[in-house]
Amino acid sequence: MIDPLEVAVIRQQLGREPRGLRAVAHRCPCGRPDVVETAPRLPDGTPFPTLYYLTCPRAAAAIGGLEAAGLMREMTGRLADDAATAREYQRAHQDYLARRDAAADAAGQDRLPPGTQSAGGMPHRVKCLHALVAHELAVPGANPFGREALTAAGQWWSRGPCVIPDDGVRR
């Protein structure tokens, strides 16, 4: 069960009700959730393949800047040129699928069908740094491109919490 105050923070971060929320997968150095784990299926059974979701608006903005600067294209190019990086990215993909299957099992849900995308374009391209960063934050050392993007993003938390809980109490 997720603390209701944390759910309120996540709602504020997203600007909407979170969907399929299972757990806080990582907390920002400021103490707020910045990555959540979502169920592989929404309550109505709709597949939701994004297991880890970056919720912090400051982190999302920092990563969006990297995407706009063309980092995804450069990373995708490296997959074709660097066999070691491609193998590490394939391992990240397999890790993501295994964790998503385990989340489905724990939630008593049907697993997503084989061949369902993992996240962020894995394993053949880099499509969404937000998803790769969320994976790396939730599972440190799991995602080479998420790790690289985190380093490039800098300390998005340095100005303090991105949101203040609705009750106005700083935590």
What pLDDT was estimated at residue 167? 53
For the range 97-100, what are the long-range contacts, defined as Cβ-Cβ under 8 Å and sequence gap of 24 or more? 99/51, 99/139, 100/40, 100/49, 100/51
Residue that is written with structure tokens 């109505």 in the block: 44
What pLDDT sits at residue 169? 42
Look-up: residue for tokens 């391209």? 125
Alpha-carbon distance 33 to 118, whole Å?
Answer: 22
Q: Rounded to an integer, what distance in angstroms lies between the CA atom of residue 143 and that of residue 42?
A: 25
Which letter, b or e, does each residue of 52-61 get, where b requires 16 or more Cβ atoms within 10 Å of its Cβ? bbbbbbbbbe
pTM: 0.92
Token pair 């700083």 in the structure block, residue: 170
CA end-to-end span of the chain, whole Å?
Answer: 19
Residue 171's pLDDT is what?
A: 43
In Å, what is the CA distance from 41 to each residue of 32, 36, 46, 49, 83?
Answer: 25, 15, 5, 8, 34
Q: In angstroms, what CA-CA distances link 127 with 1, 64, 73, 124?
A: 32, 12, 8, 9
Q: What is the pLDDT along the chain (171 residues), one digit of tens a residue?
A: 789 989 999 999 999 999 999 999 999 998 899 999 999 999 999 999 999 999 999 999 999 999 999 999 999 999 999 999 999 999 999 999 999 999 999 999 999 999 998 999 999 999 999 999 999 999 999 999 999 999 999 998 888 778 876 654 444
How many other C-beta atoms lie within 10 A of the C-beta of residue 107? 13
CB 95 within 8 A of CB 139: yes
